[in-house]
Structure formats: C-alpha cells, structure tokens
Amino acid sequence: MTDILIVEDNKELAELLCDFLRGENYTVSVAETGEKALQLYERYGARLVVLDIMLPGKDGFAVCRKIREESNTPILIVSARTDKEDKLNGLTLGADDYIEKPYDIDIMLAKIAGIFKRRYAVDELIDGDIRISKMNRVVYKNGVPIEMTAKEFDLLVLFLENKGKILTKEYLFNQIWGSDSFSEQQTLTVHIKWLRQKIEDDPKQPKHILTVWGVGYKYESI
C-alpha cells in the first residue's frame, strides 16, 4: 500500500512535495486528475490522500466524497480556494484538514507526520489468540512465535487491518506483490494455504481466512 497519494494538477508543486515526502521515507504516488486519483486509490490504496480541489474533470470534492464512501483513509485538502464555504464543504465531506496554498513545507510535513502518528502508531494487532507485532514483524499464536516469510506476514497484517471486509484477489495481489510483479495470482492462493496452515486450528476448515468464491477472501474473528 502506498503511504501517500498526492492529487495535484500542478506538476512542479506535485514533484516538489513528492521529493520532500520521499526524503522523509514515505512511499508516494501522484495523480494529476480526479479520475486518475480514484483509479490509483482503488488499485493500490493509500494511508493518506493529499488532495487539491481545482482539478481537471472530477474535482477534489467529488474525489473526497467517493473515497469517504468506501473508507476512513485520512484526507488532507490543499487548495488555493480560501472561502469559508469551500473549507466547510471539504470538512463536511469528511476531509481531516484543509490547508491553504501557498503553504509552508515544514508545516505541511509536520501535519502529515502528526496524521501518521495519530492514526498508525499502534504497533500491535490482536485477534483472539493471534497477536502481531508490526515493529518486530513477529506473529504469535497463543503466545508462541510463528515463523513466517515476509509476504506471509504482510498478507496477515493486511487481513487483520481489514477484518470482516471482502478483499478481492486482485487487490490482495497488488497490495502485497505489486501490479508490476512477475509473479502470478496463483502465488496468492499458495500463500493463503500456507497462512492457514500456520494460524488455523484446522487448515482444511478455516475459521479466520475465509474464501469468498469468485471474489477473494475475508478475515473473520472467531
């Protein structure tokens, strides 16, 4: 999953912000239009969306509304439109903050760091007898560490962060291996099998990682 999706039609401004964010070790993708932003978000996701309002075609308000219909991903609106009505509209649609252009890059970086700290600082994921330490990249079952490959670990974290949600095979594959991977989607099926062998009491009758036939998988708590 991408850390930050920048939606900005000003190429120079987008590249400048992108360079600063990558300097802070964020992974970043850029979209110049609202339509492209939604395509990238649907395919790769994002932990934060930095969103301009004045875009060609679908504007930032429409993008904000669409993303908020599907998820609670933080949205930071950045716009030269400073009217009170615009700010209220953006915040009402679900944006987490509204920053006026031109902005101070240090203030922008501080706001972004604050969002990540508040939203993603939780290190542990716990579900029944399964506990994951994201910092140490260790999975425990009944207090006993389970040996996992990097891909198995990332896949299990993605499942626990989306408990109860149906995740398509394409989404899972793109999130873990990337759309430009030379691997095939059959790789996902194999990793699901390995995960079940490691976390399920009965891998042949899984209770956690369930198959949604013709669509993908979902993780359920017991």
d(CA 99, CA 152): 39
Prediction pTM value = 0.60
* pLDDT higher than threshold 60 for residue 180: no
C-alpha 55, offset from chain centre: 23
Bridge partners of residue 108, in order along the sequence: none
pLDDT in tens, 121-144: 667 889 999 999 887 789 999 889
The whole-number pLDDT of residue 133 equals 87
Q: All domains of the chain, ordered by start, with CATH?
A: 2-120 (3.40.50.2300), 124-219 (1.10.10.10)
Tens digit of pLDDT for each residue in 11-55? 999 999 999 999 988 889 999 999 999 999 988 889 899 999 999
List, edge to edge, every strand of the sheet that includes 130-133: 124-127, 130-133, 138-141, 144-146
pLDDT in tens, 57-85: 999 999 999 999 888 899 999 999 889 99
Confidence of residue 201 (pLDDT cuts 50, 70, 90): very high
